[in-house]
Structure 1
């Protein structure tokens, strides 16, 4: 296959690609579920057949829709499942993670093509070449090759621990910031109220706070940690002023839902703006959905107009959202695939903050 058709595929039929995207969206949950079940009971022939069939159907859908990239990605995975089905190779944790990463990449690539965005950061050429080699190598080398390919495509080692939900150590407010400790306690109580609205949010506040403070620390405290802490607590509190049917919705959002969500940063920032001493936190909250390329909201700011704290908050908030994005499929997304997706979104986040964030994740790997 011409590698150029993978790196920069030409969309011959947009309607057909949309049909493929819909079919993939339906099949991906089944694949995640089957992979999780097969890891627990690898001898189950019925689950093996289900997973093989799901991958085979993705390849068939791609061929039917004339989407070469989809077929190129699915075919070697199908070959690996065939080898497993015949007892030639085991269904290891590394193979399972690689299959899920591959489906993630295919979903990201399809969405990017439909949105007319670049595929450059997805490393699809390396992925397809690696999968083709994997389908043919000796059984004893499969796990080693899986680990190498995962690291090549994502930039991270294949095993990453969980992000802790325990409260991190926070900074002591400066004495001149009157009532700061009392305010922070109140802000935190509001954040925990938001968490209580859905079991999916349990531990969310502390995970985001930990990542935000550690990322700021990795950049030598470029942002006032007390203001950043306040921003973490309140950045999504405006959600509670929207209909629950919008912000607690499972699955894809409508255009109307997305339009309603654009209001929540302003609601939260408005609270902070009316409290003396929290102006910097208010700015972070107001801007945390802005993007360096001007594609964010609510004001479509450019990178130079977005404050550093908002750039940190944007990354860690998106990371948490990616972790929960597929919760309706029955399992959390792994930290590895979540961080890989964040790094693949080349225009959504400030590049000067991606490196400190990655260093924090790497510390998680080593701990």
Structure 2
């Protein structure tokens, strides 16, 4: 298998590339649904055949559209699924994570190319070689090898972790003494949660991750200001049509322009209240990124305050966990953190490292 196309993936024809991009967007939800069903009933041969067919169609579309880097990635998957159809292998938890990780990387690589960004952080050659290696192993060798491949590609060890509890009440937090302002901010955040069942528990999860990341980095940000910013950073979303901020499909340019306004609304409210200037700045900047391509002001590097960099990571992690929920399952913690880490040009590396330590600790302690 030739892995050269994976080193620097290219677009040969923008029109056929867009055709493939749309095709992949159609296949991906079905693949996730099939894998979710197979986890419940690994022996259903019809589902295995459907899964093989879906990946095979992606490979065929890639060939027709000259999106060549896709083919080496799907080749190893096809061999694994062929052996599953023959009864030689069975879908396990860790193997399913490899299949889903491959799907994630395909989607991320396509998005990177469409934005003229590098796909180097996705480690596509490592993944393709690993998949080919897995396809030759005996059943008893497969799970350990899958775990090693996941760690090689993502930097995280595989662990059978549960998804975050999205129904947990916040009694332990609401009983703590808060200032009147913080109680108000928290109530605003909970109002946002009520707009969708997918958001339930979001405030508690985001606060825990933000405060723990700040602590892991030495507590350089005021925990009180950071807490206020966690509560308020997305409150501006409530002033947008729900059809926009709960939208599953790709946004139009006009819709995206509306979305850009939401950080300023929360920031403006905080700026008008005595003592919350730092939290206001964090809210305003939480969609800026270190390369200067974020919004609303296209700030970069050290022009972005540390608290906003923490918020950006926490917000992105939560968004990745939920963005595919319409496909019938949320992303696992492993897949979510791997996707965030692959966006290394978006986030400050000085904050990714403590954030990763927090996630690893939570995974090891069963806290996610």
Distance 2:337 2:61 in 1: 28
Aligned to 1:68, the other structure's residue is in SS state coil
Alpha-carbon offset, residue 181 of structure 1: 0.7
- Per-residue displacement from partner, 1:176-216 (whole Å, max 9, x unpaired)? xxxx7110001000100010011111111111111000000
Q: Which deviates more from structure 2 when the two are superposed, residues 66-75 or residues 298-307?
A: 66-75
Aligned residue pair count? 360
TM-score norm. by structure 2 comes to 0.95
- Per-residue displacement from partner, 1:139-183 (whole Å, max 9, x unpaired)? 22111111110111010011144445655779x99xxxxxx7110
Equivalent in the alignment of 2:233: 235
Distance 1:129 1:83 in 2: 18
Tell me if structure 1 keeps the 8 A contact 2:9–2:119. no
Alpha-carbon offset, residue 90 of structure 1: 1.5
- Per-residue displacement from partner, 1:6-25 (whole Å, max 9, x unpaired)? 11023211211111111111
Q: 2:224 aligns with which of 217, 223, 226?
A: 226
The question of 1:207 aligning with 2:205 is answered: yes
Equivalent in the alignment of 1:4: 4
Unaligned runs of 5+ in 1: 174-179
Equivalent in the alignment of 1:34: 34
Aligned to 1:296, the other structure's residue is in SS state coil
Unaligned runs of 5+ in 2: none
Distance 2:328 2:140 in 1: 32
Equivalent in the alignment of 2:362: 364
Equivalent in the alignment of 1:97: 97
Equivalent in the alignment of 2:307: 309
Aligned to 1:11, the other structure's residue is in SS state coil
Tell me if structure 2 keeps the 8 A contact 1:16–1:65. yes
- Aligned 1:35-184 pairs, distance under 5 A: 35-159=35-159, 160-163=161-164, 167=170, 181-184=179-182
TM-score norm. by structure 1 comes to 0.95
Tell me if structure 1 keeps the 8 A contact 2:316–2:340. yes
Distance 2:221 2:164 in 1: 22
Tell me if structure 1 keeps the 8 A contact 2:32–2:100. yes
Alpha-carbon offset, residue 346 of structure 1: 1.4
- Per-residue displacement from partner, 1:18-40 (whole Å, max 9, x unpaired)? 11111111000000000010111
Distance 1:29 1:10 in 2: 25
Distance 1:279 1:60 in 2: 55
Aligned to 2:84, the other structure's residue is in SS state helix
Tell me if structure 1 keeps the 8 A contact 2:193–2:200. yes
Aligned to 1:90, the other structure's residue is in SS state coil
Alpha-carbon offset, residue 313 of structure 1: 0.2
Alpha-carbon offset, residue 42 of structure 1: 1.4
Deviant stretches of 4+, over 6 Å? none
Equivalent in the alignment of 1:198: 196
Equivalent in the alignment of 2:256: 258
Equivalent in the alignment of 2:269: 271
- Per-residue displacement from partner, 1:310-348 (whole Å, max 9, x unpaired)? 000000001000111111111101110110000000111
